Amino acid sequence: MNLRQRGICARFKECREKLGWSQPDFAAALGITLDQLASIEYARTPLRYGIAWKMRLISGLSLDWLATGGPSPDMANADTLSSQYPNGPSNDALLSEVFDVACPLTAEHLRKRQMRSRVKLDDADMRQRSFIEMMLKGQLRLWLSRAPAGSVKDLSDSICKLCEEFLAHLPAELKPVVDARFDELVWNKMRAELSIQRIPNISTPNLKLTDAATYSIVAEVKAQLPSLLERLEKATAESGKKSELAEFLARATKANVPLASVSRWLSGEREPGGEVALLLDVWATAQGYPRAK
């Protein structure tokens, strides 16, 4: 197998590992045998388009990223391969062949991928970044709700300007390092989405936070926040349940979620962001306290 096919197989394996799937679970989700999965991951068999497309449906993974290593793993909506063609390509065709018909691979794709792959990130630092990202989403929603009509764009421009001015006074870092951090934050978001799909006994449909349908569910959960907090109060009444909830959020987001932050959300002292509220809703439902119909 050539170097390019090996790279695709490596990203196939990377996707499963980054999203926290076991080999048996991932094979079952894709509708293939464990031996078939292992053959792809260990580059004994090239990745076929049909399997790649199933990965996209399950996780929202970008096929452009899978085929080339760029630009970002969750940009499925901007994929060159944005739909499964009614009259082709064949599910048995190689992903690389299908991609080359739509968008020939360039040396720049390979160069950028190789540079990112050499970057080693600090796990503790990335956990902190993921947690702060999660907290800022809730804060940003509060700022937007407080902005009077007609001032929202000015607020957005001011936030962007302040951030850029702050970053301009810090030491510049190499772009591959920044790109690698961006990718890891993206993987964290995708893990959170998949955690919702994989919790047993949950009636919530498959959710992707980039879909309009999911945004409507998030909005519904946020609108019922007082009710959600009541459900969570009941669900965490038993000793150890708050810690269990914190561990669930940490697994879902791959971020360090302090128990103190969970307590602030449950008390109403701090409002959770949309993704966190959705995860709290999923956990409460799994404990036997579903949303009212």
User: What is the tens place of the pLDDT at every residue in 168-185?
Assistant: 999 988 888 888 888 888
How many Cβ atoms sit within 10 Å of the Cβ of residue 119?
A: 15
The span from the CA of 270 to the CA of 272, in Å, is: 6
**Separation of alpha carbons 43 and 31, rounded Å:** 19
Domains and CATH numbers, the chain: 3-117 (1.10.260.40), 123-286 (no CATH)
The SS3 of residue 193 is: helix
Separation of alpha carbons 132 and 134, rounded Å? 5
Provide DSSP, 29-82. HHT--HHHHHHHHTTSSPPBHHHHHHHHHHH---HHHHHHS-S-TT-GGG-SS-
Distance of CA 106 to CAs 60, 109, 110, 176, 215, Å? Answer: 24, 6, 7, 18, 35
- The pLDDT assigned to 221 comes to 62
Nearest partner of 53 among 9, 89, 100, judged by Cα = 89
Assess whether pLDDT exceeds 70 at residue 143. Answer: yes
267 CB-side CA count, 13 A = 8
56 or 72: which leads in pLDDT: 56
Residue tagged 């579903």 (tokens): 290
Question: What is the per-residue pLDDT across 108-139, written as a single tens digit (0 to 9) for each?
Answer: 555 555 555 567 888 778 877 877 777 787 78
